[in-house]
Chain A
Amino acid sequence: MTSTAGAEASIALLGQPNSGKSTLFNALTGARQRVGNWPGKTVEKKEGYYTRAGVHYHVADLPGTYSLSANSEEEIITRDHIASGGADVVCILADSSQLSRSLFMLADYAGIRCPAVLLLNLMDVAEKQGKQVDAAELEKRLGIPVVPFVAADLRQYEPFHEAVERALKQKTLIDTGSLTAKYRALEGQVYEQVLALLPAEGLGRYSADWIAAKLLEGDQAVQAAVEEQLSAEKKHELRTFLSQVSNGALETAGAKFQWVDELLDGVLVQSGKKAALSRFDRLATHRRWGKPLAILIILLGLIASFFPAAPIMLAGGMIPQLGAPIGAALSAIGAPQLLIDLMSQVVLNTLYFAVAMIGFVFGVNLVFGFLEEIGYMARVSYVFDGTMTRLGLQGKAVMPLVVSFGCTIGGAAGTRVIDSWAQRVLTIALAWVVPCAATWAIVPVIASLFFGAWAPLVIVAIFVVAGLHMLVTAKVFGSRLIRDEDRAGLIMELPPYHRPRWGALLRSILVRTWDILSRALRIIFIVSLVFWLVTYSAGGSPDGSLLYRFGRAIEPVTMFFGLTWQTFLAYISSMVSKEAALGVLGSLYLGAGSIFSSTLGGSGPQMATGLSEALLASLSAPAALAFIFAVTFNAPCLMAITSTYQETRSLKWTLRILAYYFATSLLLAAIVYHVAGLFL
């Protein structure tokens, strides 16, 4: 086969899947094509021909493969076809919209001594992406014709035909100088050592350079072919050497990608990046400033959620006032006293808490939902990754911890992506520190009640303490759990920032708010009811009830931690569920007050406004603060404890973590109580 006029020439189309080979093949050959199988193979063979300027061109559409290794039948067919002289020129198609990936085939081809043309196909798609390719410069660097191309556009075929003719005439081969330089730079000089064992002239169309790379990759077929040419001694030497090479394929692939990178440097230009956003992102992901920025944004977000919450909370304060009219109406229709008391003390009490928290639940969800939606929370995970490492955790642990802001159970389940059991236990132990959505629902209610406009400061304090808590907890558990394990490397790809889809965001926030609220309503109602019944059935005086006597008995001890017996019981119940604490608190304080006032012959209005006043009257500010910290840093809830057991499969470690949190939350309460007592 020659390329002289009147004669014939063979073209082979080579490229990765979807690079447009079939499109080009069909455009060239039209109806003049034949589909069969490659000899002895099940792989489809498409052949055809076209004539141009008196030359009869045979075209073979080679199977789409990612490389020319011997990984699959298709790859072997492809390179055998080229090596056996089946083509006079090989047209290598690359997808211009992803050149870095696509040119890997070119790199794998480089070193095969058969003239080639590079077609930068799908140029239209690349241009739409804002990519521009300097084909002339690339041609200079490669030494073969390079054609910007749109296979689907028949009007653009002239440069293609010219390039094929040029390649045939000039026998253009890829200049492999800079590629072999990359191979030579491989660690341990493996490339040069293999090369030294090979026949310098290569093997047929395969140059020695190409063969050396393939041998490093562990290519059995090439090795067998080469060994046929070697003496027994050299063969042994080659085998021994190759058996010592590790990660050869990954290393040579790395060299090929580096070569492609060098080829494209200055050749491929991408325009239209969003500058302002990327400047913000540099700050958001900055080693030093990213973290303070994240803390600031989250804190400001939490504080900002007080604004919509405050008026709603105030409105919630009116609810207990409804007790009087409702009580009057009920007694007017002759309802039993039990029902009237149940209404005014349990139902309204529950409603009050629910309404008081609704604004904040909505606010917090809005803030976090928004940050998540625009893609910022992913940055938060990234900037805290280093902290994870310092805590002895894997980078992957950051996501379960972020999720724990929503729900500790989710955080515990999220550790499933961590392979090491010890790492999982430690991550779960730390996830318990992170205040969950329920905490953010109840803490602000109490904080606002006691500290008014200063309530946001309580949130800041919780944040600071949570940070310190994590450090200590990681030390306590880490020293027992984590041995110096092999650290797995992690690459974190961040989602691009995008505009929030407000509709979807609001819908999910409303569903979530409703879910948290309805759960809180149910729990507070049930807990209130149970506690109310326990004290109510004791008859007129609360002092007589077993619970009250028990409470009085333990109070001298609990007060050391700044907890009255009522807040202590509420704290204990928060281990079952955070919301339950509000129910217990409400029924114990309001229940006592109202029963007390009713035994004294008090009337409706007094007991109606009772709850917040009863709380304010019975708890000092340091005691309220102690309660807030005790509940916040207590075990998250019963379900989280169960979840911890299920995820760790260790009762011992679950109980250890539980005991640790019980002890540390009480200790924290004691510290907060006594320190706050000095100032408040």
Chain B
Amino acid sequence: MYARLLRLLKDGRARLPEDLSRELGISPETLRAYMAYLAERGMLARIRWRNDALGQGCSSCLSCRGCPAWEDAENDPVLWEMRNSTTDRGNS
């Protein structure tokens, strides 16, 4: 399933978990569980991008108060990005 997942995501298009689960032939819940598993092993990175990117502030701007770019991060999509790996076997 991992190889298939990699191949599916290779086209660079973002997929909703619902679509991806259909493509993999598993339920969205199972996909989520597998995603959590991969994330724990560092194969999938969770990006809450507004916090990750703007958490440190914007370079040339000093004030976030009233910033039109800053919204409640809870309404952002959560992005999961595959981290490429060649192998995870300790004995290889």
Contact = CB atoms under 8 A, between A and B. Distances in A.
A491 B27 contact: no
Interface stretch (A80-88, A399-407, A550-558): A399-407
Nearest to A377: B75
A218 to B, nearest CB: 4
A249 B83 CA distance: 15
Nearest to A495: B75
Contact of A257 (B1, B58, B74): B1
B76 to A, nearest CB: 6
Contact of B12 (A66, A395, A409, A416): A395
Contacts of B74: 495
B13 A385 contact: yes
A385 B61 CA distance: 28
Contact of B59 (A66, A375, A437, A647): A647
Q: Which of A261, A382, A405 has the largest count of B CB atoms less than 10 A from its CB?
A: A261
Given A395-B13, A410-B58, A643-B59, A250 B69 contact: no
Interface stretch (A25-33, A98-106, A569-577): A98-106
Interface string B1-30: 111011011111111110010000111011
Contacts of B47: 396, 417
Interface string B42-72: 0110010110111011111100011111111
A250 B66 contact: no
Interface string A374-399: 01011001100110010000111011
Interface residues of B, number: 71
Q: Which of A245, A396, A489, A515 has the largest count of B CB atoms less than 10 A from its CB?
A: A489
A430 to B, nearest CB: 16
Contacts of B12: 389, 394-395, 487-490
Nearest to A378: B77
Contacts of B11: 389, 487
B16 A245 contact: no
B84 to A, nearest CB: 7
Interface string A240-264: 0011111111110111011011001
Given A395-B13, A399-B49, A410-B58, A245 B77 contact: no
Contacts of A381: 77
A382 B34 contact: no
A251 B1 contact: yes
A248 B53 CA distance: 33
A296 interface: no
A104 B37 CA distance: 10
A515 B60 contact: no
A436 B57 CA distance: 18
A642 B83 CA distance: 32
Nearest to B57: A413
Contacts of A47: none
Contact of B69 (A101, A398, A403): A403
A275 interface: no
Contact of A491 (B3, B25, B80, B83): B80
A406 B49 contact: no
Contacts of A494: 16, 77
Contacts of B6: 489
Nearest to A517: B66
A201 interface: no
A412 interface: yes
A247 B68 contact: no
Given A218-B91, A261-B26, A489-B10, A413 B77 contact: no
A102 B88 CA distance: 23
Q: Which of A251, A406, A410 has the largest count of B CB atoms less than 10 A from its CB?
A: A410
Given A242-B91, A406-B68, A643-B59, A493 B80 contact: yes
B13 to A, nearest CB: 6
A410 B67 contact: yes
Given A407-B68, A407-B69, A491 B91 contact: no
A248 B89 contact: yes
Q: Which of A223, A247, A375, A436 has the largest count of B CB atoms less than 10 A from its CB?
A: A247
A400 B69 CA distance: 9
A674 to B, nearest CB: 34
Given A404-B69, A414-B53, A491 B20 contact: yes
A373 interface: yes
19 contacts: A100-B33, A101-B36, A245-B92, A247-B2, A255-B1, A257-B26, A257-B37, A372-B75, A377-B71, A385-B13, A396-B47, A399-B49, A416-B56, A489-B8, A491-B44, A492-B78, A492-B79, A493-B80, A511-B66
